[in-house]
Structure 1
């Protein structure tokens, strides 16, 4: 079947029917070529939707009066989205608990704030990012998978943060020390390809899982983590010290 404007008009009627039927989970992924698949306004003000997935959609122009008043989870992927449209979208999701943005082109500056119920953020391979700032007091889990060149990354204190995974983030020893001191509830810390880390000092009575993967400049890791259950290290030979013993972990690239 040839995909054309008439077919996409039919798809839009199906979407309208779903909205009128108070659909709770709506997945709009690659249903039409992006030039035809502008997300209908009715989707962006639907009171019933609790989970919304937008992939391969046309998000080049979004209204500034989005109101997804019941939305708990938002997934956006493989789209072109400029900064203002990003802000318009998340500003209309005031009770959202989980957001994921993956492989979004055009997105240069992410600023997340004013979402009091937000607990999970995933930012994956958004290639044009220049800066990321996150302020979310109830945030519990953050995964940020950056690509080179890594954006400026500012994570304001999230007193409920428990799980943090960073990939290719330009974070320093001091940044990590300050982060851990201001976010004392972290239980799982996963650092991957963070090329600026050299000497890491971790003192925590909460951390249970630690991963260091291909942090090539890393020289030394000193840990005082009495509840640590799992330590993973991938890279060249390094020396680790703990509050009970000193040991070495060896793995090769």
Structure 2
């Protein structure tokens, strides 16, 4: 994929707000509700409800400025540290965290989470709970030995990564290298949750197509095992959407733990 004609998220960047509007909003023309919102949130709610994934620190290493994948997690961790590779993503996320005018409206995702949980909290109460669980949003450089240098992060009980690896990896070696970096951030026995897209090669933001690393289920299972992870759950949802914005075959949600 080194000769890909597409742009690269970690090199060229993109308009985070535009991506959220196209792939995660509640607009009538947004075709990805089942895949990008409902399927991940349903599975994360079930995963965390079991109760064995909990602790003091969760690190989120995900693409763009999404927040909906952290709704279930905030009930089970004291602190959520969000790491982003782009200042633009941080700016967009902080608009929501600071409740600023013009921030992306995640009300539809909040409502969905409450329905999944059978929760009677007010929308605003739930969103404030998520905000209060996130003490830090930090820039990171995944190429550095310590990606948050000079700050040293505490060992994490859990890492969530949503749609980041396919956006930044050129090939299989890259994917495995970044998995190894994630593993170093985890305590022994810590948990890794991956949300991603199988057999994707591109996605579109505004008029630009962006590279995505293409992988299948067999590869990701082998990669996780090779880096000392035991897969606890592996859910796959086949694509039913007809659109040329992106070409993934299926969405996956994986829960794994690091061997002690």
Q: Which has the larger radius of gyration?
A: 1
More helix as a share of residues: 2
Query: What TM-score do the two structures reach when normalised by structure 2?
Result: 0.25
Higher relative contact order (CA 8 A, sep 6+): 2
More strand as a share of residues: 1
Query: What TM-score do the two structures reach when normalised by structure 1?
Result: 0.26
